[in-house]
Structure 1
Amino acid sequence: MCTELFIISQPAIPCKAVRDVKMASKMNPRQWQRLRALVIDLAARFLNTQDRYEHQDPEMVRLFYQAIHATWPEVAAKYPNSWVLVWYLKIYLLKRVYRKRWSDKVARERASSQARQQPSRLRTKSTNRSFRQIDTGASQACVAMRTRRRTTAYDRLASPSGPEIRASPAMYCSSVTLSQNSGSPSSPASAHSHSVVPVQSSRAVFRFLDSMSPSLVKLVPDFRSAGIYDQSHLEDFFTWPEKAQRNFLLKTLTGKINALELGAMLIALNSRRHG
């Protein structure tokens, strides 16, 4: 009986471009697009996409391949040592590094050009100032006119025609409170302490973040954007090694939590890991 699964050995000459990897893998366009989407998505979650493959954390690389094989096990069975993943990932990360270097170079050249143009702008401003000082009467008239306009605008703001209350755009966001989800009445203090839960997120993620001291329910959107938005994803996250969890938090939540909140998060994860 013929089977569709057959082994594709690694070419003798290393592939140096994405086109070479695609041809050597003998994948159809649909399979290749699936491979590219998986690599790009999981590389953003587990790896530093601004550094080469050789400089990545080995533990995070292991987790990356583990996630790929769990999602698409035929890759590991069809390609020995998953060579198609390794080569494509190396080329993808290298292109990201080159693209970042190019953007940094353009930014430096733009800043240098602006610094060179600064003296000429100062000279132009001083020349215009000298011309303005010649016509003293016109300058005083302009100043008086501007003063009258500011006074009129201030009077309009100070005495509006009537009371007007406008709701903030944030009040119209798609969200519900925890008390509304549970269906039980709650006091205003408890409703205020539990803040707002996005409709698309899971109660498990909210309860986990709210169980910390201080509460970190503000991170529900960040967990959702990182792929942790229901009970199963949260349980998978609890099984990660401590180092992988720390690297994930530092990469995903940089600038969004302080040292105290990071410590509370690590303590909660450690208790879940040993509990």
Structure 2
Amino acid sequence: MYQVNYRRASSITEAAKLAKGGDAKFLSGGMTLIPAMKTRLAAPSDLIDLAHVQEMKGIKVSGKTVTIGAATTHAEVASDEKLKKVAPAVARLAGLIGDPAVRHKGTIGGSIANNDPAADYPAALLALGATIVTNKRQIVADKFFKGQFETALKDDEIVTAVTFTAPAKAAYEKFRNPASRYAITGVFVAKGKEGVRVAVTGSGDDGVFRSKEIEAALGKKFDASALDGMQLSSANLMSDIHASAEYRAHLIVVMAKRAVTAANA
């Protein structure tokens, strides 16, 4: 590590002020940012801690509309009873993240703001057609995620909440790294008024993405059998020590079939 100024904010307004000047980063759970700093992939001059900003915490459910504060932890998302009733797939996804220590510290805002290519929440928000709320504007998920570790956020912009309409059916399945529990391949499938949306994490060379081929097939028949025999191209998929691009192409279909089966259960 190296020298860094730690600052604790008590409100969104204060956090924005503290971030002015220098090369500041906002710290939520720190599950992505701190490891990045340790490996010198990130080198901020200041860390602005958002963990104590109460206005960024909590889950609200109004009919089918769900709003989750950015500082809400994975454990809180996983255990919220109101959320389980309207969007159980999101609660289940949160329960699959990391281990108990990670789930009680990591937050949904931190996860999407860092946009780790193997993170789970980006797939959920993209598939749900969610809106990311910041201290300055609202950004639809399709325009928020720009690539590996890249988003539409500006340097002084803070994710304050995410909001989405609960789908009629949805599910998330992932092939996990047994050590980190990161998604080697994860697929979130959602069926709502606007049709079927399918988002893939852990596999794309450029981060989370929607699978138009799977969406088209499930749009005709929302059943795992609609994907029988489907072979996706391995172009633009990652190859690393965990899996080749070709294997990930196969896993995407397998995870999508499992997700659809779970959504229909």
Normalised TM-score (structure 2): 0.22
TM-score between both structures, scaled by the size of structure 1: 0.22
More strand by share: 2
Structure with the largest fraction of helix: 1
Larger radius of gyration: 1
